[in-house]
Chain A
Amino acid sequence: MSFDLGFTTDQTTITDLFNSFFSNESRPEVARAAEPLGFDADLWQKTLALGVAGMAVPEANGGGGASLSDAVIVAEAVGAALAPVPIVEHMVAARTHPITDLVEGAALGTIALTPAADGRWSFVPAGAVADIVIGVDGGDIVAVRSTAPGVAPRNHACQPLAHRSSRDGDRTVIGDASSFERVVAEWKTLTASTLVGIAQRSLDMGVQYVKERHQFGVPVGSFQAVQHGLADIPGLIDGSRILAHKAAWASQPDVAQTIEPEFNEYTDFSVVASMAFLFAGEAAVHATDRSLHFHGGYGFSEEYDIQMYYRRARGWRLIAGDPRNEYVALADKMFGDN
Chain B
Amino acid sequence: MDFTLSPEAIAYRNLVRSIIADTVTDEAIEDIHRTGTFDLPALNFALAKHGLLERAVPGMGKGDPIELWILFNELEKAGAPYDGIAVSLMIAGVINAVGTDQQKHRIIPSIVSGEAGVCMGYSEPDYGSDVASIVTRAVQDGDQWVINGAKMWTTMAHVAKWLILLTRTDTDLPKHRGLTMFILPMDTPGITVKPVHTMASEHTNATWYDDVCVGDEAVLGEVNGGWRTMTVALAFERGVMGGTNQGVPLLTHFAKWVKQVGLASDPAVKVELAKAAIDMHVSTLLTQRAAWIAASGGLPGLEGSMAKLFATEAYQREVHSFQNVAAQPGLLGFHEDGAAAEGFIDYDARHSPVTTIYGGTSEIQRNNIAERHLGLPRNR
Contacts and interface: CB of A to CB of B under 8 A. Distances in A.
Interface of A: 1-7, 69, 207, 210-211, 218-219, 221-224, 226-228, 230-232, 234-236, 238-240, 242-243, 245-246, 248-250, 255, 261-264, 266-267, 275, 278-279, 324, 327-328, 330-332, 334-336, 338
Nearest to B264: A338
Shortest Cβ-Cβ A-B pairs, 4 listed: A227-B370, A331-B270, A235-B306, A338-B264
Contacts of B245: 264
Given A243-B285, A338-B259, A2 B271 contact: no
B63 to A, nearest CB: 11
Given A3-B1, A211-B375, 19 more contacts: A1-B66, A1-B296, A6-B292, A207-B375, A228-B366, A236-B310, A238-B306, A242-B282, A249-B1, A263-B77, A275-B278, A327-B271, A330-B277, A331-B277, A334-B273, A334-B274, A335-B264, A336-B264, A338-B259
24 contacts: A1-B64, A1-B295, A2-B66, A3-B2, A3-B288, A3-B292, A221-B376, A223-B379, A230-B370, A230-B374, A231-B369, A231-B373, A234-B306, A235-B306, A240-B282, A242-B282, A242-B286, A243-B282, A246-B1, A278-B274, A328-B267, A331-B274, A331-B277, A335-B273
B102 interface: no
Contacts of A246: 1, 3, 285
Nearest to A239: B282
A215 B334 CA distance: 53
Contacts of A332: 270
A6 B363 CA distance: 29
A328 B376 contact: no
B252 to A, nearest CB: 5
Contacts, number: 174
Contact of A331 (B66, B273, B284, B307): B273
Contact of B376 (A3, A7, A222, A279): A222
Nearest to B253: A262
Interface in B304-329: 306-307, 309-310
Contacts of A226: 376
B107 interface: no
A140 to B, nearest CB: 29
A245 B284 CA distance: 15
B376 A210 contact: yes
B376 A227 contact: yes
Given A264-B245, A327-B274, A245 B376 contact: no
B288 A239 contact: no
